Chains A and B, each alone.
Chain A
């Protein structure tokens, strides 16, 4: 028996077929317009995982290529600087050879010494070259200039950051000859630092400091000289400290006031307006020179003696008056009054002053008094190469409770956990010690000492690395230690040779000049080796770059296979679907025409 066909069936099945065809047609159009056969995860679930993988590989390849380009530029810069340095060394050698001959005289050698000095100056400048924000020859200490000319000449700076009380502080370092940089860490906005009894408050790094304020910066490291200058100026807002923490850091030193220049010491009276001369020494009391002691004829020398001989001038409020000649020739004599004790509680001022002398606060150039609180020092660093020592608090607490670990490689690897902070001196090794005597610590407080061996080099022997492929860091930098120092694998300190040559020329020491000629040859070889190493590494970059383009090509091929649409097939499919759709429309339009009995019932 034939099937009973109703109107509803005809319309329904037409509609169903139209929907099916429309949806197939839409899929084909999607693929044609995007040129991809995978437009959403459900189009090819397994393919999607692969597509994301390959895209990731492509993204990383692009990054590796950027890394390679970066390292390559770095190496080109390194090679260029070393080549220039080499030329300068050749110049110096030629100069030395000329001056070692019998025709040279003491006079020509003195002139040559000046030239050598200039060559050395240029060499220092090249050795402190930067690429982007980093010093090329500083090893991993690439944020600070690696060479300083006054390396051997640095005076006996003796500095300490001391912890007033509480937690989380900086450190100090002492070194007779070699400390050149001092990093002050752990200062945050709102922290205060006490200099000369004046409290300065830390403000945001970008803000303009008002009186009594200074900027916080994360990366600033204060050199010993810089800090000394800052202390000497005793001005707010002139230098920057970095780091985090909430406690007061006090720098203590002896305070001094100084009067303006005077024409002579024993002829011109200092003047007398009547009244006592009163010298206030912080919270320790005053030294009073009675009204009657200073007369119309009192001179600078007499005033000095009056102060030094005053019976008030004793005990904790003791001061020393002195006359200093500034060598200017015009009003060169200054009367200075310096507290005998260091610290903010010994600040000197003159609340009563009947003389014409105008005293202003001035600090001596040397910081002479140190707090005995927490500090790190390396009076004699015995290490073979420059090194950064770190002490990190692991769990906080008082001296007795806190635990800590120490690191000799800048914090990369750590000792076992230790608990004897209150025992006094912590031996980090090679003469570096840290002393803690008060305070409460928090976990992750860090105390750092950057120790440098005698010489001109402040960087370290580490190499910088970058990824040039999956899981393969490539060391691309050449440290100053490897090229310029007698540390590590090489033997000649290039700048020492230059210094020695200059000295030999100045002192007319022919024997020594001859010695330096040989050493200059060695220095030359050392720099040449650096140039060769750069070249080899650049070749390696080239190879890596070729690998990357090959990987890229392959990844693109794989991706194309998975996700690209086969256009020929799509166009054919499209035509077929269109045809089917058209027939369907035709059939639907006929549903009411000629296919119903109604058309025949009149």
Chain B
């Protein structure tokens, strides 16, 4: 053991402190970088020197910079992302739907329906009245227009989900590709224990972003690569290979195969969009169509049994429903009646009383069999509004619950992996002291050396 060894140890001390300060600098500058996992230099004593019968370790090394990170927590966050992505998207779409049903302040289907029945009642008290006939026609057209708009608005929400699904599938493909590339790079750098911390951060971020979009499971293998599986069990990413998804009409498949994934995707934003497209909005549209068809049918039946102002058979008041799934969209008043309101059949006899108009007005209180329930048209619409309200309420409370869980998980993640400026400052002081001490060591070694040289004079 000699002065040279001391100098060498001091050199190592200076270099390691400098390196530790660099790591601290990286942490501090990334304090606000999303997904950045704080790094910690791992110090290790090194260099064995034999002095007589005794061995010493003089010197220090940093064999690795450790990412401070909890793998199990990341799994939980990924899962939370899937639920939150689903919840947020569902809430967003449902609230748009709710906007359409918002008639607690009037002006909606319910009110127009009431005005329609009222117009018939008015006509019944003056069946030959031109003004009353025009009002019936106008109320019917308002109602039909509202149904048409309603159907179009719901359809456009559905179409919006359909378009976004395509974009979403493209994004998922891009994420999967990037993750596969990162897998390759990370494996080349030696995985977890290698020099791949920034790549790992980047991959984690991508993984979370993927989980927000679609339900996944993933396994990290010993080389540092991760294998991603979809909820259905199909492999998406394996090492450096990523499989792509494709849209065949409305079906999501593994590209180039006939393997359909659509039914298995139930979480993530994509899961919510599929639910909106295939079930939720489609269900509301079904109900709206059933309502329109029921009203058209009931009014037409009664109308055809009556007589026009000219004493002719009433015929259809509304254009009859062709296909049930377009009943609301195609709701309109018969062209004959639009051209001549005198063709409204207000009478139950050819002599022109107002009883038929009265009976059509009374459909308002008539229980109609809608297939799923037996109630009035107004009651059916009320139940539909309540259903939408309940769905929105459920989506909101589910999302709030998920937000709380996510918030806790993220706090936990921050607690483990986030950068604490206080802590980094303390480290900075510590490393600075180490550096100063190593510098002092050099001075001492220098003095020792000088003493030695002077001895030889």
Contacts and interface: CB of A to CB of B under 8 A. Distances in A.
A574 interface: no
Contact of B381 (A52, A185, A410, A563): A52
B389 A4 contact: no
Interface string A181-203: 00101100000000000000000
Contacts of A4: 415-416, 420, 423
A601 interface: yes
Given A13-B411, A41-B388, A45-B389, A465 B425 contact: no
Interface stretch (B47-55, B185-193, B308-316): B308-316
Contact of A44 (B342, B349, B351, B389): B389
Given A41-B102, A67-B125, A448-B350, A7 B421 contact: yes
A42 interface: yes
Q: How large is the interface on A (under 10, 10 to 19, 20 to 34, 35 or more residues)?
A: 35 or more
Given A39-B104, A71-B125, A444-B312, A8 B349 contact: no
A563 B104 contact: yes
B201 interface: no
A481 to B, nearest CB: 13
Interface in B77-135: 95, 98-99, 101-106, 110-111, 113-115, 117-118, 121-122, 124-129
B156 to A, nearest CB: 20
A70 B118 contact: no
A3 B420 CA distance: 12
Interface string A386-411: 00101010000000000000000111
Contacts of B343: 218
The 7 closest A-B pairs by CB, nearest first: A41-B389, A410-B349, A45-B389, A6-B418, A42-B392, A218-B342, A140-B353
B313 A462 contact: no
B110 to A, nearest CB: 5
Of the four ranges (under 10, 10 to 19, 20 to 34, 35 or more), the interface on chain B belongs to 35 or more
Contacts of B307: 411
B351 A140 contact: yes
Contacts of B310: 185, 218-219, 242-244
A305 interface: no
A9 B313 contact: no
Interface of A: 3-9, 12-13, 16, 34, 36, 38-46, 48-53, 55-56, 59-60, 62-64, 66-67, 70-71, 132-134, 140-143, 183, 185-186, 218-219, 242-244, 388, 390, 392, 409-412, 444, 446, 448, 450, 460, 462, 464-467, 470-471, 473, 563, 596-598, 601
12 contacts: A3-B415, A6-B419, A13-B407, A39-B102, A40-B392, A42-B389, A44-B389, A48-B389, A218-B342, A411-B350, A467-B124, A597-B421
Contacts of A66: 118, 121-122, 125
Nearest to A42: B392
Contact of A5 (B99, B102, B382, B420): B420
B31 interface: yes
A11 to B, nearest CB: 9
A39 B365 CA distance: 27
A13 B426 CA distance: 24
B348 A412 contact: yes
Contact of A597 (B354, B410, B422): B422
Contacts of B313: 392, 444, 446
A60 B105 CA distance: 18
A67 B123 CA distance: 10
Contacts of A462: 349, 353
Contact of A409 (B349, B379, B403): B349
A559 B18 CA distance: 75
Contacts of B340: 218
Given A9-B411, A63-B121, A466-B125, A598 B421 contact: yes
Interface string B386-412: 111110110010000001000100110
B121 A444 contact: no
Contacts of A45: 386-387, 389-390, 393
Contacts of A409: 349
Contacts of B103: 52
B355 interface: yes
B352 interface: yes
B354 A464 contact: yes
B342 A219 contact: yes
A41 B128 contact: no
Given A140-B352, A142-B353, A390-B350, 19 more contacts: A4-B415, A9-B411, A12-B411, A41-B392, A48-B104, A48-B382, A49-B382, A52-B381, A53-B379, A56-B114, A60-B118, A143-B352, A218-B308, A392-B313, A409-B349, A412-B348, A444-B313, A446-B350, A466-B358
B383 interface: yes
B398 to A, nearest CB: 12
Given A5-B415, A40-B104, A133-B128, A467 B362 contact: yes
B358 A465 contact: yes
A450 B351 contact: yes
A49 B383 contact: yes
B312 A446 contact: yes
Contacts of B121: 63-64, 66-67, 466-467
B32 interface: yes
- Provide the main secondary structure of the chain A interface: mixed
Contact of A186 (B125, B312, B365): B312
B361 interface: yes
A40 B389 contact: yes
A36 B104 contact: yes
Nearest to B130: A133
A129 to B, nearest CB: 15
A41 B104 contact: yes
A448 B348 CA distance: 14
B209 interface: no
Contacts of A56: 110, 113-114, 364, 378, 382
A6 B420 contact: yes
B351 A34 contact: no
A52 B311 CA distance: 37
A55 B114 contact: yes
B385 interface: yes
A597 B361 contact: no
Contact of A133 (B31, B124, B129, B414): B129
A299 B382 CA distance: 90
A119 B289 CA distance: 62
B432 to A, nearest CB: 11
Nearest to A409: B349
B386 A7 contact: no
A548 B435 CA distance: 93
Contacts of A64: 121
Contact of A6 (B127, B355, B414): B414
Contacts of A467: 121, 124, 358, 361-362
Contacts of A41: 98, 101-102, 104, 385-386, 388-390, 392
Interface string B216-239: 000000000000000000000000
B129 A388 contact: no
B19 to A, nearest CB: 22
A388 B351 contact: yes
Most A CB contacts (10 A, CB to CB) among B355, B389, B422 go to B389
B87 to A, nearest CB: 14
A387 B308 CA distance: 18
Given A9-B414, A444-B313, A63 B353 contact: no
